[in-house]
Amino acid sequence: MDNNTYVVIMAGGIGSRFWPFSRTNYPKQFHDVLGTGQSMLQATAERFKNICPPENVFIVTNKDYEALVKQQLPELTDNQILLEPIGRNTAPCIAYASYKIAQLNPNANLVVTPADHVVLKQDVFTEVINDALEAAAKDDVLITLGITPSRPDTGYGYIQYIDEAGSKTKKVKTFTEKPNLELAQMFLESGDFVWNSGIFIWSARSILKAFRQHLPEITEVFEEGLGTLNTSDEQNFITRAYSQCRNVSIDYGIMEKVDNVYVLLADIGWSDLGTWNSLYTINEKDEAGNVVDGEVMLYDTKDCIIKTPKDRLVVLQGLEDYIVAEYDNVLMICKKTEEQKVKEFMADAKSKKGPDYI
């Protein structure tokens, strides 16, 4: 275990595609989505227990979720919890963590990961991350983990790579964000495209160099406050800094523009668990193809995903290919094939019924 290795867990999103289970005041990363006894945040932190020291794990989240993070990861110090005043996408989030950690350790190598992804092959994941960290410590490279696609999914970003014999890391040729079905099918058939996992590995030096070259306005904002990071003045500075940062993703702002991006192919049992269908895909099914989490009685029902409170008996008859999800004061019943409308349902609930339902 290398003391120069740091992990940044991004845990600030709302997870609107997972409504009504994921709510503004209690997003999905704080839920035990898989029924394992751990929230997704807790499972993500534990995933790195053999990769870096516990004091090198940092959580970036919205200030409204500070209490949830402290409740679920009580071993963290206040300095390990980075509080964003507003959401500004992944580039400002990563800049904040990178500048803060680089000040603590200029030789830091970072793993950046979302809090709400699933990794089923822990041993393989540890090996892959260590390989990536070794490459990032040695060379000026930005590495992302690539997942071999199993279907022409239009919800993921795709990376085309140049296959170099004998090299674990492959040079990235192109990025494509969420293609249409026809294009996704072509990517799948070509054999040289992988899903972009959104898990990144690089040295602090390399990512800060990339920020200076491609997002200089963000660099300027954070370098003005270097003296406040890791001090009692940090939060006041971050509040001002975020008001000056535009909303931009790390993919669009940096990864699609630099020429030192590499992908490491990783068969780690990965899912971004971003939708109800992704939860359905990775879960065990009953003999009728249903995924059930709750106190449920089923009749003539197949290929459904049902997630309801344990203290409520739910009886379903005659459903096929549906999502049935209840949490708190909302029950949603929706065709699995129409799950792209979930964000629309959430927006309508907010505008027509008020904020209590989102």
Q: pLDDT for 197-208, tens place per residue?
A: 999 999 999 999
- CA angle in degrees (0–180, nearest 5) for 6-28-180: 90
Six-digit token string for 111: 């793993």
What CA–CA distance (Å, rounded) separates 159 from 198?
A: 11
Res. 211 pLDDT band, cuts 50 70 90? very high
- Is the model more confident about 190 or about 239? 239
Q: What is the pLDDT of residue 166?
A: 66
Q: H or E stretch including 122?
A: helix 122-138
How many CB atoms are located within 10 Å of the residue 239 CB? 14
Query: What is the rounded average pLDDT of the residues 115-127?
Result: 95
- CA angle in degrees (0–180, nearest 5) for 242-243-247: 70
Q: What is the pLDDT of residue 164?
A: 76
* CA-based radius of gyration for the chain: 21
Task: Output the pTM of the full model.
Answer: 0.93
What CA–CA distance (Å, rounded) separates 234 from 255?
A: 28
| Bond before 20 cis per omega within 30 degrees | yes
pLDDT tens across 138-184, in order? 999 999 999 988 888 877 889 999 987 667 789 999 888 888 888 88
Amino acid present at 168: K
Six-digit token string for 107: 């030789």
CA distances to 130, 286, 347 from 333, rounded to whole Å, are: 43, 20, 16
Handedness of CA 129, 134, 80, 221 (dihedral sign): negative
Query: What is the rounded average pLDDT of the residues 92-101?
Result: 98
Where are the chain's structural domains? 5-271, 284-353
Res. 338 pLDDT band, cuts 50 70 90? very high
* DSSP sequence for 232-283: TTHHHHHHHHHHH-----HIIIIITT-S-EEEEE--S-EE---SHHHHHHHS
What CA–CA distance (Å, rounded) separates 186 from 181?
A: 9
DSSP state of 120: S
Q: What is the pLDDT of residue 105?
A: 98
Name which CATH class applies to 5-271. Answer: alpha beta
Q: What is the pLDDT of residue 291?
A: 97
Six-digit token string for 309: 């409170």
- Alpha-helical segments (H) within 19-89: 40-46, 66-72
